[in-house]
Amino acid sequence: MTKHELYKKVTQAYTARFQQSPQLVVRAPGRVNLIGEHTDYNDGFVLPVAVDQAAWLAVGAVEGPLTTVRALDIKNDEAIFSTTEVPASVGGWADYPKGVLWAFLERGVHPAPINAVLASDVPVGAGMSSSAAIELAFAFAWNTLGQFDISLSDLALLCQKAENQYVGVNCGIMDQMISACGKAGHAMMLDSRSLERRYFPMPEGVAIVVADSMVRRSLAASEYNIRRAQCEQAVSHLQAHLPEIKALRDVSLRQLEQFGHDLPEVVYRRARHVVTENDRVVKFARALHSGDIETAGALMIEGHRSLRDDYEVSAAELDALVEAAVEVPGCYGARLTGAGFGGCTIALVAEAAVSDFKTHIARVYDERFGKQPTVYVTHPADGVAAIR
């Protein structure tokens, strides 16, 4: 759906359900990460872009204690909960607005009850941060209606807290921060420790092509949290030799090789991915700054191998999509994007080669797995904003 169609969809549904026009319509984008995977919860560097696909929320304040949210994409499912107390977690999509409410209350801020209609074209479970988009849409709406004047970066932190402590997914800050602070036409390099942001324009004539493997995974139930614990185990071990370090972000490859030899082999490989991936992010940003798209693409391929072999979060379908992508003339590089275990790949492709690229990966994927990937040609978009 186009932006206009999604805007019309949520506003009309809101009016039909609540018999009045919404006060506010909010758009919060999903994201793809160009490079820097599983580094953010290690205090490292990431380089995502906000994308055209987004969560849309039509909303209005109401009298009384109850918030009612209708999710158009989930068979018009509705969640009704009080805003005066912490709502119970029951799993599913409604835990995201409930978690945001909980995080506001934890901050000492009391959002007003709302009526809301939610729709999204961010693929669920594809590694494009559909959850962060929903969280930011609700956080922005409550912040605007309540005139709380919380900054976008603080809203991102609030939403991360909701996902970590209410939903139960120990994600880093990247997803929420890029949904909050994305900039059209640019990639955002984020220092996950200091939250410093730098923006780099994407090269002219290069498309960001996302291929959805259609392999789904439940992030909360996956091995994501295990990977995080393994990284913490590596840090704890290395601190005996390097007491000044706080996270794998502080460790060089030389130090890991010197002091990590008696780590369990699997933990050593997890740490090696994070250490080398941080280095790749810095090199990738330099390549963007200088317009060296060939180097940027080579770093993506190198990063995919590290995710596949050292971090072990790839899948046969993701590997096949990456292998097919780099066979196409005009594709500079490709890799899985997101937490892995399924989801999407991302490729940088010359715009003139996009049609051939889509045809080739679809054919290869169908031959290997008997199904078609969903392919999106995305453009770097702005972060969360009110549309009216």
Q: Which residues are catalytic?
A: 175
C-beta separation of 116 from 140 below 8 A? no
C-beta separation of 153 from 177 below 8 A? yes
Question: CA 23: distance to chain centroid?
Answer: 28
Q: Which two tokens stand for residue 281?
A: 């992010």
Q: What is the dihedral of CA 173, 179, 180, 181, to 10 degrees?
A: 90
C-beta separation of 213 from 197 below 8 A? no
| 21 vs 12: CA distance, rounded Å | 8
Q: Is 127 exposed, middle or buried (0-12, 13-18, 19+ CB in 10 A)?
A: buried
Q: Which two tokens stand for residue 140?
A: 């922005």
**Three-state secondary structure call for residue 226:** helix
C-beta separation of 136 from 156 below 8 A? yes
C-beta separation of 158 from 100 below 8 A? yes
